[in-house]
Every structure is written in C-alpha cells, then in structure tokens.
Structure 1
Amino acid sequence: METIAGVRTDRLGLLLDQFDKAREMGQVRLAGLGDEEYLWEPVPGCWSIRRRGEAETPRAFGPGDWLLDRGAPDIPASEYAEIARQAAGGMSVAKIAEDWSVSAERVEEVLAHTGPVEPDETPVTTIAWRLSHLHFCFAGSWEWTFGERRVDPTLLVDFTPDAAVAVERFWALMDRWRDSIATVTEAQLDTVGFSQYPYGSDPDEPYASALAGCNLEFIHHMAEIALLRDLWRARTPGRG
C-alpha cells in the first residue's frame, strides 16, 4: 500500500477513495427521498419501475411484483468508441455481439461507422429507475465477483415503490460492496476474469478496469439522480 502525505496512492486506494467520496455525496443527495418524487415521471414515455403486467418495455424484468423497464437490445452511440476498443484489443465480433445481445451484423455496422456520432435518443428515466438500475448492477457484480457466481442478476433485486425501503436496501448493498472491494489484492486487480459478471466485458478485463467501470457507473447515475431531485424541487407547483 503506497501513501503520500497520508493519502493512499496505490491503485486500489485511489479507486476506494473515489468511491467513498462519491458515496458521501450520494448519501447527502438521496436523503429525504419520498415516494412521489421517487416515482415522478417528468415527461411522457419515461422508464421506471412498473407493476407486473403493466410494463410496456419489451425486456422489463424483476423477480417480484415490480419490474424494471428495459428496452430492446442495441449498442448506443455513446458506446461506439468502447466497441472499437474491444475489437482493437482482440475481442471477436461474435463475442462483442454476445455481450451486447445484438447481432454480429449490428456490431459490424458500428465498427464500420465513420464521421460524427449522432446523439443517442434514450428515454428519460425516473429516480426509481436509476436507483433500481444501480442496485441491480452492483448486486450482480457482487454475486459474480465475491459470491457464488450462479444467480441470474435479474433475479437478485426485488424492486419496490417504497423510496425509503429502496434507499435502505441500496446502501446496505453498497456497504457489502465496499467491504469486499477493500479485500482485493494487487494480483486480483490484474486478474482477467476475476469478475465473471455476465452482462458486459468483465470476464475479459483485468479487474482493475472492471472496478473502475463500476465507479463510473455509480458516479454518473448518482449525478443523474441528483439532477432529477433538483428538477423536482424546481418544478411548477401543481404540474408534473
């Protein structure tokens, strides 16, 4: 473990410090979240959590009474550069297609793209969707890195319309996540496939890269939740 002026500068130390600071800010921004705000749909066509039987997205999932919206598989424009890096690193078109649940033809189309990339047309999502998505991702990452590596990630989280319950369960999971990450060794950080999380490229990456990706996922979705909370407070009374 390397330190300068009492601050860890080794790879794991930097990743833990980044996570801890983001979590500290996230806990402040999630404080006091109520059910109405949690489920607020600021525009038509939002993705959220829905009662079983009421979800309209083609791949909505969840083990209980509430499902998390999920659309048809595709490679968003924001990931074109990542697809190019995967291919340049030796990943086959077939493997990339499998990871993204798309056809090989779609991968080849992305790799052949030239010029500016058009912005993604993605649905606006509720706070419930963002928090549930994070919970699902980290529950699956934990199970397929530190757990038994056998439970389908889509069955790990019982989504709930109760904001207080959702927040409490999420931070309990993140406590377990943080405790497990703190035990990772330098050798494990370099191990390709230390995480076998089946949705994405974790099995093909050194764990340091996969862990950095987890931090990015946490940071950018918590920032989106924070913005939605700002918009909720600033909305016109009586509208939305």
Structure 2
Amino acid sequence: MTHDTWNEVLRDQIDWHWRHQLRPRLEGLTDQEYFWEPAPDSWNVRPHGTGNAPIQAGSGNMIIEFAAPPPEPEPFTTIAWRLGHVIVGVLAMRNASHFGRAATDYRSFNYAATAREALGQLDAEYATWLTGVESLGEEGLHRPCGEEHFEEDSMARLVLHIHRELIHHLSEVCLLRDLYLHTHGTFNQEEARK
C-alpha cells in the first residue's frame, strides 16, 4: 500500500485527466476549428484592428476580446478565446504570481495566431503549473495564497480551483470540437462525395 502525499494526490487528479482525457482530445486541432465562430458576434482571438469588442487586449499581432463588465448575456466564446483564457487567466497569471514565471496579464500576453501555437503555449503553461505545484511540497499547500478572492485561503484551495477551471474550460473546448465535427466536418464530407 502506498502512502501518497496530498501534493501527489492533487497533481495526480489533474494530470490523469490531462493525459487521458483533455490533452488527447486537443490533438489535431485545426486553425479552422480554433477560430470558428458558432454564433454571431462571438468573442474570439483576432488580428489587431479587426475586433468589435469594447476591450481588445494583446501585445503581439493578435488580440483577445472582452468587456468589463461583460454584457448580459455575454457573447459566445470560440475555442481560441477559451484557450486564451485558460493559457493566460487560469495558468500564466498564476504561474507568474506563485512559480516565478515572467509577469503577464490579458493585455500584455502575445496570443497565438494558430491552433498549433496555442497548444504549445498551453502545454508550456501547464508544465510550469504542475512543476510549481510539486515544488510547494506539503508545507507549501498550507501557506496562505494571498491572491484576490483567495486572500484567506490556502494554496491547496487555489490548486483545487485551478484544476476545476482546467477541467471545466478544456471540456468546453472538447465539446466545441465535437460540434464543429458534426456540423462542418460532416457537411464537408457530404460535399466531397457530390
């Protein structure tokens, strides 16, 4: 019988899901899927100067769209937008706050212009996160997080929150891939047979 530490259990919980469910489902993501807008006026990642949202943030050639406060109802968000949110808002900003990554935020991040580049960014930030959580050991999980909305919480609670966010948002990305396949993928195959 093994005696896993809580740190190992927390990492295993997300890493099993990552390796067996989430990351394999993202393999082969195309640029067409990445930028696909399933609803009118979707928020997306776009080249500078082509967006319509009140806030268009990004330091490179691409921007991510949003508004503060968001409108009611919020616009539908694309795979590119959701990956941008996970890469920056869920992982990179926390990696910067807690694990030595260079400071970043939605406005200063260089958003990916291709699906392949976005998956590379996702993989890099996820690896930094997992290594950072491991570096906390057992004692570090008990220290106060000090992050906005988590001021009184331990790092363990932040870790659990980030893992929920990863599972939640990346599952949405997987669902959008399914929707794309069953609309565009099937349609294109039928058109090719005509």
1:187 is displaced (CA, Å) by 2.2
1:27 alignment counterpart: 23
- In structure 2, which of residues 145, 157, 166 is the aligned counterpart of residue 209 of structure 1? 157
1:98 alignment counterpart: none
1:184 alignment counterpart: 136
Map 1:70-149 to 2 at 5 A: 70-73=66-69, 121-137=73-89, 138-147=91-100
Q: Is the 8 A contact 1:39 1:161 kept in 2?
A: no
Instruction: Report the number of matched residues.
Output: 184
SS of residue in 1 equivalent to 2:98: coil
In 2: Cα distance, 1:170 partner to 1:152 partner? 15
Once the two structures are superposed, residues 136-194 of structure 1 have per-residue CA deviations (whole angstroms, 9 ceiling, x without a partner) of 0201100000117x72423553112211111122102211221121111222211113x
Stretches of 4+ moved more than 4 A in 1?
none
2:192 alignment counterpart: none
**Residue type of the partner of 1:210?**
L
Task: Confirm or deny that 1:66 pairs with 2:55.
Answer: no
Per mean C-alpha deviation after superposition, the further-off stretch among 34-43 and 21-30 is 21-30
Summarize the Cα distance change of 1:218–1:7 in structure 2 as closer, same or farther, 3 Å threshold: farther
- Percent same amino acid among aligned pairs? 29
TM-score by length of 1: 0.70
In 1: Cα distance, 2:108 partner to 2:138 partner? 29
Summarize the Cα distance change of 1:156–1:186 in structure 2 as closer, same or farther, 3 Å threshold: farther
1:11 is displaced (CA, Å) by 2.5
Query: Runs of 5+ in structure 1 lacking a partner?
Result: 77-119
1:37 alignment counterpart: 33
SS of residue in 2 equivalent to 1:153: coil
Summarize the Cα distance change of 1:55–1:203 in structure 2 as closer, same or farther, 3 Å threshold: farther
1:13 is displaced (CA, Å) by 2.1
Summarize the Cα distance change of 1:32–1:152 in structure 2 as closer, same or farther, 3 Å threshold: closer
Summarize the Cα distance change of 1:122–1:165 in structure 2 as closer, same or farther, 3 Å threshold: same
Query: Runs of 5+ in structure 2 lacking a partner?
Result: 189-194
In 2: Cα distance, 1:141 partner to 1:23 partner? 18
Task: Confirm or deny that 1:161 pairs with 2:156.
Answer: no
Summarize the Cα distance change of 1:67–1:203 in structure 2 as closer, same or farther, 3 Å threshold: farther
In 2: Cα distance, 1:141 partner to 1:203 partner? 14
TM-score by length of 2: 0.85
Q: Is the 8 A contact 2:57 2:108 kept in 1?
A: no
Q: Is the 8 A contact 2:58 2:64 kept in 1?
A: yes
**Residue type of the partner of 1:23?**
W
